């Protein structure tokens, strides 16, 4: 049987994939429509994106289910299709690996609103939505579940608990940090810092602590986050930064960090102890291919040292 994700990364670092959202846009998804629905309506296009990440060397694929909970799908009048959308997401990622034994990570993004007393959603609604999605991903055979782009401890707690209760073989919590205005540090939009997040995740059943996306979080900031996580917990760390900062060019959001620029940050991340490295918004299979080479070199050097 394939070893559990959080066990295998104690032996060697793994490579995750790059962006899905921006790649879906390139494949013709219109702004504001449901990328997750494409698992049912355009599975071939989702598969083609994920195959390119596998060909680039990714060991892990995140399912195309970021907005696949009932509350998010309801915005596209597809709340009744949670099970189908998520099962198809797992099946497509599995197919993208072909004969390779990669790790399919079931992706759960934010539910997209605020909970009481700040917003209109009750805690029970959010818990039910995450639980339903997590069950669908686990039943379809996901190797892990990632609760990602999280900014609040309350929502993170519901996500982690939904993944645990669904029986996910491995549970990952991933926060989105923003660099503060004075540039001195970073924390989530809701004011959570890396130490708080890591301690909370360790105490609430996460197997891997992670960060992804965020504002102003380049590879250097990502390394600082890894260091702060590692000072707080012994859990393995996963990192998926954006490919630079978003810029509006001809009414389109573009990310400007090239594979050559971004890959310079990979070795420092590995030296800081990152166990899974991928990338978020704006990254492409070319970024992931560059990361593959950097990770392989790092592993070789460490074998040479007899480490």
Which residues of this chain interact with Zn ion, rule CB under 5 A?
213, 280-281
Q: Measured from the CB of residue 2, what is the shortest distance to Zn ion in angstroms?
A: 28
- Select 81 or 262, whichever has its Cβ closest to Zn ion: 262
Residue 280 beta carbon to Zn ion: minimum distance, rounded to whole angstroms: 3
Query: Which CB, 87 or 280, lies closer to Zn ion?
Result: 280
Closest to Zn ion by CB, 194 vs 233, is 194
The three-state DSSP-derived secondary structure of 187-232 is ECCCCCCHHHHHHHHHHCCCCEEEEECCECCCHHHHHHHHHHHHHH
171-175: strand order across its sheet: 14-15, 274-277, 237-240, 208-212, 171-175, 144-150, 103-108, 60-62
List own/partner pairs for 284-288 with CB under 8 A and 24 or more apart: 284/18, 284/19, 284/23, 284/243, 284/259, 285/18, 285/52, 285/53, 285/55, 285/56, 286/56, 286/259, 287/18, 287/243, 287/259, 287/262, 287/263, 288/15, 288/17, 288/18, 288/53, 288/56, 288/57, 288/58
- Residues 78, 82, 85, CA angle at the centre, nearest 5°? 90
* Per-residue 3-state assignment (H helix, E strand, C coil) for 150-199: ECCHHHHHHHHHHHHHCCCCCEEEEECCEECCCCCCEECCCCCCHHHHHH
Q: Min. distance of Cβ 153 from Zn ion in angstroms? A: 20
Q: Which is nearer to Zn ion, 50 or 131 (CB)?
A: 50
Q: How far is the CB of 148 from Zn ion (least distance, A)?
A: 9
Q: Which residue's CB is nearer to Zn ion, number 131 or number 259?
A: 259
Q: What are the φ/ψ torsions at residue 238 (nearest 5 degrees)?
A: -120, 140
Nearer to Zn ion, 280 or 288 (CB): 280
Q: Is 110 or 194 the residue whose CB approaches Zn ion more closely?
A: 110
Minimum distance between the CB of residue 22 and Zn ion, rounded to whole angstroms? 8
């Amino acid at each position: 049987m394939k070893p559990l994700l959080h066990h295998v990364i104690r032996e060697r670092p793994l490579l995750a994939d790059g962006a899905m959202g921006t790649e879906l846009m390139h494949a013709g998804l219109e702004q504001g429509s449901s990328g997750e629905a494409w698992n049912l309506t355009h599975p071939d296009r989702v598969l083609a994106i994920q195959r390119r990440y596998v060909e680039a060397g990714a060991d892990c694929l995140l399912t195309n289910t970021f907005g696949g909970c009932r509350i998010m799908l309801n915005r596209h009048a597809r709340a009744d299709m949670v099970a189908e959308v998520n099962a198809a997401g797992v099946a497509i990622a599995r197919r993208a690996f072909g004969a390779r034994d990669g790790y399919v990570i079931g992706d759960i993004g934010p539910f997209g609103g605020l909970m009481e007393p700040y917003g209109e959603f009750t805690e029970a609604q959010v818990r039910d939505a995450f639980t339903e999605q997590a069950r669908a991903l686990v039943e379809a055979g996901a190797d892990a579940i990632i609760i990602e782009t999280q900014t609040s401890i309350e929502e993170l707690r519901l996500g982690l608990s939904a993944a645990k209760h669904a029986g996910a073989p491995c549970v990952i919590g991933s926060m989105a940090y923003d660099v503060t205005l004075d540039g001195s540090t970073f924390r989530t939009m809701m004011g959570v810092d890396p130490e708080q997040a890591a301690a909370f995740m360790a105490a609430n059943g996460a197997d891997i602590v992670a960060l992804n996306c965020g504002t102003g979080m380049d590879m250097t900031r990502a390394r600082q986050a890894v260091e702060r996580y590692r000072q707080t917990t012994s859990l393995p760390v996963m990192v998926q930064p954006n490919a630079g900062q978003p810029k509006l060019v001809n009414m389109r959001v573009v990310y400007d960090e090239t594979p050559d620029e971004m890959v310079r940050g990979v070795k420092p991340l590995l030296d800081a102890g990152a166990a899974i490295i991928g990338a978020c918004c704006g990254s492409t299979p070319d970024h992931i291919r560059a990361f593959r080479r950097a990770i392989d070199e790092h592993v070789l050097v460490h074998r040479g040292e007899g480490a």
